[in-house]
Amino acid sequence: MTRLWGVLLGQRARRRWLHLILGGALFMPYWLVGTVAVGPFSRDGNVLGGSLGLQLAAYAVGLPIAALTALFPLARPMSVAAARALCGVTPGRFADGPARGRGARARTAGWFTLHLGTGALLAGATLALPPFALAVSALPFSPELRASELGRFWHLDRPWLAWAGLPLGLLLLLALAGVAAATGALLARAAPRLLGPSPADRLAAAERRAAELAVRNRLARELHDSVGHALSAVTLQAGAARRVLETDTADLAFVREALTAIEETTRRTVGELDAVLGLLRSGEDDGDFAAPGLDALDALVKGAGPGVTLTVSGRLAELPEAVSREAYRIVQEGLTNAVRHARGEKVTARIALSGDELEITMENPLPGTPPVARPDGGRGLRGITERARLLGGTAQAGPTDGNWLLAARLPVGAAGPAGTAGATGTAGGRG
């Protein structure tokens, strides 16, 4: 009994019933248009109070009009929102956004017409049948009802027969609930087929996921390069300061410079970290992430330690923003690897703008003993290659003549600066 009650009047059944009544309410404007169309065929022009046949004719006229309006783009999102909330179907089985293609629009029109058509019939029965069933159930208690047309129609005008009105009224209500539950279940079964994603929808969803994954990969690279370099630079500066303090004649000026470099590096990295984490939390890429460019090279080299020498050739300030940003990250990752593995040896970095190509080279002596390999193999060099490839350039790294050499070439493109004039200088420093 409890199971039957749940099937007929449980939460899911009630929601589906409400969904059908909503369809009936949406069908009312189409039915009124139908009454105007069939009005000339009635004797007095009053279809609303006319015969059931004319009202069904108006219903038949309204159905194709509803199907035509369902071809508009907003029909599927509206239908999906209602079905997702009230039909009890797994949300992932529905398509998102307007219908694309003739097939998807035709299925949407089919669902819309089915929903509104069945909803109109059930909504009408919901309005009319419960009062009628209650009147039939009241026949044993009302001589006036037994003497009315209702009692004579059901042949329950006699008192001893009128008691049959009680179970009859209950059966009518149960029949209404059963029809509503069955119709709602059929619509719920048809919903994924008619409102589910088409091949075009699946392709668009795959493209969106690929774009989101690309954004997150880009932000992950930014996070890896920024935090990885900061940790390496801070470790190097802190170690150098500690070794100086352990000597008998401590160079306090050197220690002060090292602490200043640590402070500047961490402050800059915390700002970048907040920006990247903010984008990751929002799940959006608004294109406004203020990643540093080659104009921040001096601070980068200073934080890397006194063993780094940077030579710049060309007007780097005129580089396109994307090239400057990716070049900065390549230099940053190269310095991170160099200061981690060079073990105090000199690191030479050169950045040269020649024509429409930016060349980045970094070189440092190989250590006597190879560094301990990281468990995951590291992602820095892979990230450098990906950054160069995104701009249409190339990047190579490996041992050569007893040194470790990183070389990257990035095309500047037509938007880049013309000429190669510019000053050449060296940036570096202790701390």
Question: Is residue 56's pLDDT more than 60?
Answer: yes
- Do you know the residue count of the chain? 431
Please choose, from the candidates 411, 408, 384, the residue with its C-alpha nearest in 3D space to the C-alpha of residue 221: 384
CA angle 60, 61, 66 (to 5 degrees): 95
Strands laid side by side in the 394-400 sheet: 394-400, 403-411, 357-365, 347-354, 308-313, 425-427
| pLDDT the model gives residue 420 | 34
| pLDDT the model gives residue 422 | 33
Output the DSSP codes for 107-152.
Answer: HHHHHHHHHHHHHHHHHHHHHHHHHHHHHHHTGGG-HHHHHSHHHH
Do residues 180 and 251 share a domain? Answer: no
| pLDDT tens-place string over residues 166-196 | 888 899 999 999 999 999 999 999 999 999 8
Do residues 175 and 226 share a domain? Answer: no
| CATH number of the domain bearing residue 225 | 3.30.565.10
**C-alpha span between 352 and 315 (Å, rounded):** 9
Do residues 213 and 256 share a domain? Answer: yes
Do residues 218 and 322 share a domain? Answer: yes
**C-alpha span between 262 and 274 (Å, rounded):** 18
**C-alpha span between 248 and 302 (Å, rounded):** 26
Do residues 106 and 212 share a domain? Answer: no
Do residues 191 and 281 share a domain? Answer: no
Provide, rounded to the nearest whole percent, the portion of the chain with pLDDT above 90: 20
Mean pLDDT (the chain) is 79
Give the three-state DSSP class for 308: strand
Q: What is the pTM of this model?
A: 0.54
Question: Is residue 371's pLDDT more than 60?
Answer: no
Q: Which helix (H) or strand (E) holds 24?
A: helix 11-38
**C-alpha span between 332 and 220 (Å, rounded):** 15
Do residues 228 and 341 share a domain? Answer: yes
Q: Residues 206-210: what's their mean pLDDT?
A: 77
Q: Residues 401-423: what's their mean pLDDT?
A: 63
CA angle 235, 239, 242 (to 5 degrees): 140
| pLDDT tens-place string over residues 32-47 | 898 888 877 776 666 6
In terms of residue numbers, what domain contains 365? 206-427
Do residues 331 and 274 share a domain? Answer: yes
Look up tokens 């990230």; give the residue. 383
| pLDDT tens-place string over residues 110-155 | 999 999 999 999 999 999 999 988 988 888 888 887 788 877 777 7
* Higher local confidence (pLDDT), 230 or 286: 230
| pLDDT the model gives residue 424 | 31
Do residues 263 and 163 share a domain? Answer: no
Output the DSSP codes for 374-389.
Answer: PTT--SHHHHHHHHHH
Do residues 369 and 392 share a domain? Answer: yes
Question: Is residue 50's pLDDT more than 90?
Answer: no
Q: Which of 170, 197, 224 finishes a domain?
A: 197
Do residues 354 and 327 share a domain? Answer: yes
Min mean pLDDT across 133-142, 260-269, 383-392 is at 260-269
> What is the number of domains present in the chain?
2
Q: Residues 160-164: what's their mean pLDDT?
A: 79
Whether residue 364 contacts residue 403, with contact meaning beta carbons closer than 8 Å, is answered with yes
Q: Which of 143, 166, 197 finishes a domain?
A: 197
**C-alpha span between 411 and 334 (Å, rounded):** 19
Q: Which of 162, 197, 232 finishes a domain?
A: 197
Do residues 68 and 142 share a domain? Answer: yes
* Higher local confidence (pLDDT), 311 or 213: 311
Sign of dihedral through CA atoms 174, 177, 181, 183?
positive
Whether residue 23 contacts residue 184, with contact meaning beta carbons closer than 8 Å, is answered with no
25 band by pLDDT with thresholds 50, 70 and 90: very high
